[in-house]
Every structure is written in structure tokens, then in C-alpha cells.
Chain A
């Protein structure tokens, strides 16, 4: 056993701890106290498992080498030993208790989301995240920004391929941030490895978790629960700023929101030219509609309906506006009134009614959208 245990220690010492940490081979230590505890827990269990494995398999391979028939080994007759059997039931039990103690401590800390400084409501929907700064009147969608030609291998992929969004979630460091998770459609799971935060977003229910970030930086994660066709394309990006920078950002975000509202109001008196709406409409379509209805407007037969030649797109304009604005309950068609401005809505509906041979020639103006929103707001209290 002397020889065995010294080999063991050698292996342990050689375990390149520093190399393993934050390498591409191992769990990330992350940037929160919790993620650090989780990493330590992970390494502890890993090493315990390695030690047990080395001992058990050393014994087994010893037998395989020395107790071979070809070496003339004669089988022993023993086939039970109460003492040994009790021992190897009891020892693992003790090891388990030793593992359970730190795990319990960390878990209880992880699940205590009380006394938070900031609350963010995170809503998953196919296939984007929506962030709402509770009580601050700031909210936005965060959508994959990797261009589709990179995904289709027609352009060079960048370092942040599939891990980049148009608007990251901006958070301050050194503040306890509580997340409230929910979903508009299927189950998603919000995961940032550097925070050791992974929580399911369940439709109709609210989950709670929290983090406190120690370092400024950009942290990337992905949806971790299969949520349909583009599950692989809804990353999470968090930008952690100093408190002062965060306050500035928040003030700017509020201002930008007010400006956008003012711009929307100004649009109500305007008639935009068809060309402008078609150009903007195509952009909006590619970002918000093409994942399901496809860039060609052909949809996926049996899954997502085609828009080319669709009775809704070619039919009554009010029905078309209604389904885009309010969605279609019980299907994957979302209510885009939450996600797009009235200008974007007008543009994308105009685009659909005039693209891929859908030559209705009809133009929808932002004021038409606003009128329908007002009309249905009364009907749907």
C-alpha cells in the first residue's frame, strides 16, 4: 500500500489545478462568491472520485495482472466476508456525508434571494430573452446578433459566434441582483456559467434566483433547456459595469425609451413612403419572423405556416394586423406589440404583403397599427 499511496499523492500533486481552472477543459470559477464555491465543490468531488477510482481500479488491475489463469493462478475459495462488506458499505457513507455538508451550505446560500438591491424580470420566449428592470421603466428584448451568413458558413465566424446579442443585460457589480424568471411560451433556462446561475423560465410561473458580481466584464451564456427549433440560437450576454457606469447607462436607457415613445407619437401624423417601409420591413422580418416563417416566406410545412400566398397575408388587412400585433393564442405565433415599435410593425406587415409575389400593393402606416391597438385595447380589457 505504501507504493500505491505515494503514487496517489504524486497524481494529486501533479493535478494542474491552476491549469484546470478557467481552461477550456473545466468548469469556470466564475466571478461571484457562489460560482467560486460551486467550483471548489466540483473540484472536491472530482478529486474524491478520482482517488476512489484509482484505488478500486488499482486493486482490480492488480488482480487482472497477477491472478491470471495463464500465470497459473489457482482460484481461491472465499466468496463472502461480512466484515469487509460492512466496511465498504460504511466508508462510502462517511465520504458522502463529508460531501453533503459543504454542498448543503452552498445550496442554502444559493437559494436565498432575499434583501436584493435590484430586481430584473427575465422572460424567455422563442428564441430571445426579455429583460425588465423592475420599478425603473426600462425593458428590452435581447436577440442573437450573429449574422445568418456566419451560421450558413458564408462568412468568417468571429470569436463571439452565437454568444453575442444586440442588447446585453447591463448589471452593476457588487450589488445583490434578484432575477425573476418566467416564459411567454415554452420552458427556457437562463444560464450564465460565470455566475453559476441556471434557472428554468416556466410559462405561467415565476422562479427566483440571484447573483452578486465581483468583477466588471462581459459574461456569456446560453439557453439551457430545449425550447424548439432555435434553442441553440438564444444566447445570454451580461455586461457588468461599475455602479456609476450602471447608473449612467440606466439614465440613458430611460431617456432613449422616452425618445422612442415621442418618435412613435410623431409618426402618427405621417405617411411613410412604401419604399422606406419595405426596406425596414425586410430587416425586421429577417430579425423577428424568418426563424419560423423562413427568409423565403415559405415556412416549414407542418410546423410553421407559409406567408407566401397565405390567406391572412393576402386577405383582410385588419386580420393581418391583428395576428401580428396580438399573436395567435395556443400557437407559436407571438404578440409582437410588445417587441416591435409601431413603425416596425407597419413596415413588416407592408413587407409581407408585398414580398415573395404577395403583390397586394397595400401599404400599412404606423397610424393604422396604433388605431388597431387602441381599438382592441377597449375590446380586450
Chain B
């Protein structure tokens, strides 16, 4: 280990002599190989996509405010639901976590940068083009993809319009970007930990990201395969998903969800990492059950590969397969429960204070668990026949993705913003952002459980009259939640511009290497590896 350390030292010294400061202007961002710059790019990109995807959700909610068709035609409505989903999954949540990983993983493990900095640059810079292609398709004749973000064949093959090719290429580029990002995270964590940082000393955010990265490497190629088969079925007369040529449309769903289920854990495991970082800080007490957290995360990741068909109970599977996928899915609630219990036990007899990151974390624990409960209900196959493809499912995955993944990203952003900028954010505005979000997000998503149970299918532009009152409430919650997020933009912008200066250790209860470097974190950190106690 010592020889490697020496080499690093020399390298770093050499490097420093040439590049004390980042380049100026646009070139800094275009050519940067610095993990902090790339992290910022990812985060800004993700926030932009969050607003664009959110704007589409506003279109959806405006149309659904009242029964009848008011604003958009059903074909455009389907484009909105589809592109909203794609943008939020691939454009907002995933890049946000990659951005946080870029910023924080090297800082947390005491590495000077990511292991593969040039690839890092490329994996970010292809992303805007992917989304440019996807968004541009909306303005072409026939419009963008209208087959749902799950693009089930044959709706996405024989029955889609010619712009499907653009969707396929956009997803390919997103996939390449994610795979490269994931490889970078794995190589960094495996090779560049500071001497003495053994596996079981790894901060939990790093652990969860390591596992997430393996999931990404495992399943993004499966997604690439699925979109490629859609492409060849549509344009090159193959019949992967066409019974007339010996294919099977349900096979598409098996392939898609073999990617899709690990994908949902890709979007939640780093969130677990963030919450496991923040809760101990503001409880001023060590995380309860560190080892069991690591094992629970790993079990969730492993189980995620054998539960995919719970998205497909209604497709007509043998009863034995339905039982297997029901049992396997129910099992996931055990390690997930362990995590929730650990967070509660961390808070128990702590010395708790309610800074903004902690507020978001507490909201995460309660509301994510709520989404977990509805997930458990959905796992029960006979009941799933009633819940499947209704607003109950929409409520479920928005609870785990918005009040789960997105709230954890907000928590993480507020937690590390002072470290990134050197300034404390405007706490009053941030608290307004939290409380407005908390109330409106529940007005938005909670009644969806009711309309779903009462029988409202998802992905419909118009609905029967008995769903009207709840839909009006949901839409109002939606507009309020959407507007509240503009406050977040204001807080971040103001914090980047200035504010009260913060010390290296921003939060008194915080632990970890990132709090040992100055605030704002210097452009180059840990040129010399830190010493781990």
C-alpha cells in the first residue's frame, strides 16, 4: 500500500504545479476532468431535467383537473406521461445520484478524484445530447414516444410512429452514460480508498453506491438489448415480440422488467446511503447497525434480480411462477424493514435537532415506508390483480420515488450544499421549501391511493365522474408541489452566489472525511491521502 501512496503523492505534486486553478469560462466545463466540476454539471443537469419533467407533469395534472378533454388530445397526453417518466427516471433521479457520487465518493474515501476522469467527462457530456434527441422528437410530426416509459411491445414496435428510432438512440446514449458512470464509481471505490479505509469502514453512502454501480453494470445492457430488439422489430422485420414471426410480446416485458426492477433499486439504494449519513449527524449518535445496513443493502440488490415478474402478474403466468414471484417480492420487505428499524434506533436516545437535511430525512423515512407498505400490498398477487395498472400503483411508485428518492436527493443537497459552496443556504427559505413540499406532495399523491382502489386506471387522459373530486384535489397538490420546487432553485442559486460562511465541519454532529477539507471544498483535495484512524 505504501508504494502506491508515494506514487500518488508524487503525481499529485506534479499535477498541482501545472493546474492550481480551473480553466476559465465555458471550456472549464466542457473539458473538465475534475470530479467536483462534473458532479456540479450532473446536479445542474438533473435539476433542469427535474423542472422539464415536472412541467410535463403539470400538463398531465391540468388535463386531469376535470373530467372531459380540455387542454390536450389523448395522443399528446400519452407523450407527456411517457416523456415525463423517462425524464424523471433517466434525466432527473439517476444523474442526481451520479452527481452526488462524483462530488462525494472521492471526498468520502480520501481519493484525489475519480479513477477515470476523462471517461467521467464523456459520460456526462453525452447525456444532454440524449435528452436533446428525446425532447426534439416531441416537436416532429407524430410527436415523441407515446407508449409509456415502459414501452411495451407491440405498442412501441408495429403501432408506434417513426420517431421511435430517436427514442431508442436516446435510451442507448443514456445507458452508455450510466454504464460508464458506474464503472467509474466501482473502479474508484475498489482502488482509490485512502490507506486504512477497510471495507467495513466505508461510509454507507459509498457502500450503497458501490452496490448500485454493480446493479447498473448488470442491467443497463439488458435495457440496451430491449430497445435494440424494439428497433429491429420495428425497422428491420425481426419478430422478437411478434407472435406472427414466432416471437412473444410478453417476452418483452420479461426483458424490460429484468432491467426495470433492479432499476428501481438503483434509484433508491443511494437514497438509503444518504439517509444513513444524515440521520446520525443530526441525532449526534453513531448509525445503528452499520454492518446490518451493508448486508441489508446487498440482500436487496440480490433479491432485485429475482422479483421482476411481480410487475407482470396479469400477463398470464403459470400459478407456480406467480407464487414464486410473490414470495420473493414479499421477502424484500425484510431487509428494507431492517433499514427503517436501524434509522429509528439511530434516533432513539440521540440528541436530535431539526436542520433542513434532517427534516427531509425524517419525511423520507415516514413517506418512503408508506410507499414500502403499498409495495408489500402490491406483492400479494390476488390483490395485485385489483391494484395493477391503477392509480394505486401510481401512488406507490411516486411515494418511493418522489418522497423517497427525490426527498433524499433534496436532503443530500441541503446537507452538502454548504460544503460545495462554502456558504450556508437561506434556512428560512429552505424550511419553507420543505414544509410546502411536504404538505403538497401528500395532497398530490395520497388521494391517488383512493382513486386507484376505487378503480381508476393509470395513463388515461379522461375519467369517469366518480373520480372527479379526488382528481381536482390531486391536481391542486400537483401544482403546489411543482411551484414549491422553484423555491429550491432560488435557495440553491442564492447559496451559490453567497451567504454566511461556513467552517470545514458544517454540522457539529457530522462525521467523515468530507468534513475535514475546507468549505468550499478546494478544487483539488486529498492530493495526499488522509490517514484513517
The interface of chain A, by Cβ under 8 A from chain B, is 24-28, 34, 37-38, 41-42, 45-46, 49, 52-53, 56-57, 59-60, 63-64, 67-70, 73-81, 84-85, 88-89, 92-93, 96, 99-100, 103-104, 106-108, 110-111, 126, 150-153, 157, 159-163, 181, 185-187, 189, 191, 193, 196-200, 202-205, 207-208, 221-233, 300-303, 330-332
Contacts and interface: CB of A to CB of B under 8 A. Distances in A.
A34 B143 CA distance: 43
B140 A302 contact: yes
Nearest to A232: B460
Given A69-B284, A163-B464, 17 more contacts: A26-B454, A27-B454, A42-B383, A67-B283, A67-B352, A68-B351, A69-B351, A73-B351, A75-B351, A88-B341, A92-B333, A99-B380, A153-B68, A193-B455, A204-B242, A205-B243, A228-B159
B398 interface: no
A282 to B, nearest CB: 21
B425 interface: no
A292 B81 CA distance: 20
A151 B144 CA distance: 24
Contact of A100 (B287, B322, B327, B390): B327
Contact of B78 (A70, A107, A204, A229): A229
Contacts of B465: 157, 159, 161
Nearest to B280: A79
7 contacts: A42-B383, A75-B349, A187-B152, A202-B316, A231-B78, A302-B140, A332-B159
Contact of B249 (A79, A162, A202, A330): A202
Contact of A303 (B143, B382, B460): B143
Contacts of A163: 464
A80 B289 contact: yes
B288 A103 contact: no
A203 B243 contact: yes
B137 to A, nearest CB: 10
A189 B159 contact: no
B344 A63 contact: yes
B334 A70 contact: no
Interface stretch (B20-28, B30-38, B259-267, B362-370): B362-370
B322 A79 contact: no
Contacts of B463: 162, 232
A41 to B, nearest CB: 5
Interface string B269-283: 000000000000001
A56 B369 contact: yes
Given A111-B322, A203-B249, A64 B453 contact: no
A46 B377 contact: yes
B450 interface: yes
Interface string B282-296: 011111111110000
B520 interface: no
A186 B163 CA distance: 18
B382 A41 contact: yes
B345 A25 contact: no
A152 to B, nearest CB: 6
Given A69-B351, A300-B142, A204 B67 contact: no
A186 B154 contact: yes
Contacts of A197: 385
- 3 closest A-B pairs by beta carbon, nearest first, are A204-B243, A302-B142, A232-B460
Interface stretch (B69-77, B113-121, B203-211, B426-434): B69-77
A111 B381 CA distance: 11
Contacts of B146: 228-229
Given A59-B348, A64-B347, A85 B158 contact: no
A99 B381 CA distance: 11
A132 B154 CA distance: 24
A181 B353 CA distance: 57
A111 B313 CA distance: 11
B338 interface: yes
Given A67-B348, A229-B75, A200 B334 contact: no
B128 interface: no
Interface string B179-220: 000000000000000000000000000000000000000000
A37 B382 contact: yes
Given A63-B348, A107-B322, A157-B465, A303 B67 contact: no
Interface in B349-364: 349-353, 362
Q: Which bucket holds chain B's interface residue count?
A: 35 or more
B163 A302 contact: yes
A207 B316 contact: yes
Contacts of B288: 78-80
Nearest to A164: B464
Contacts of B60: none
Interface centre among B146, B148, B377 (most CB of A within 10 A): B377
Nearest to A45: B377
A42 B155 contact: no
B376 interface: yes
A151 B242 CA distance: 34
A118 B483 CA distance: 55
B453 A191 contact: no
B261 to A, nearest CB: 18
A37 B464 CA distance: 26
B459 interface: yes
Contact of B373 (A53, A159, A199): A53
Given A63-B349, A226-B78, A302-B162, A27 B340 contact: no
Nearest to B465: A161
Given A103-B380, A187-B155, A199-B314, A161 B289 contact: no
Contacts of B283: 67, 75
B453 A162 contact: no
Interface centre among A79, A108, A151, A227 (most CB of B within 10 A): A79
A303 B142 contact: yes
Nearest to A90: B334
A224 B347 contact: no
B516 interface: no
A104 B382 CA distance: 8
B345 A301 contact: no
B255 interface: no
Contact of B158 (A162, A300, A331): A331
Contacts of A227: 155
B505 to A, nearest CB: 16
B141 A198 contact: no
B326 A193 contact: no
A189 B384 CA distance: 14
Contacts of A162: 67, 462-464
Interface string B79-113: 00000000000000000000000000000000000
B244 interface: yes
Nearest to A201: B316
Interface centre among B158, B250, B345 (most CB of A within 10 A): B345
B350 A73 contact: yes
Nearest to A64: B352
B2 interface: no
B455 A221 contact: yes
A84 B67 contact: no
B315 interface: yes
A202 B380 contact: no
B457 A106 contact: no
Contact of B461 (A81, A202, A232): A232
Nearest to B148: A226
B454 to A, nearest CB: 5
B527 interface: no
B1 interface: no
B335 to A, nearest CB: 8
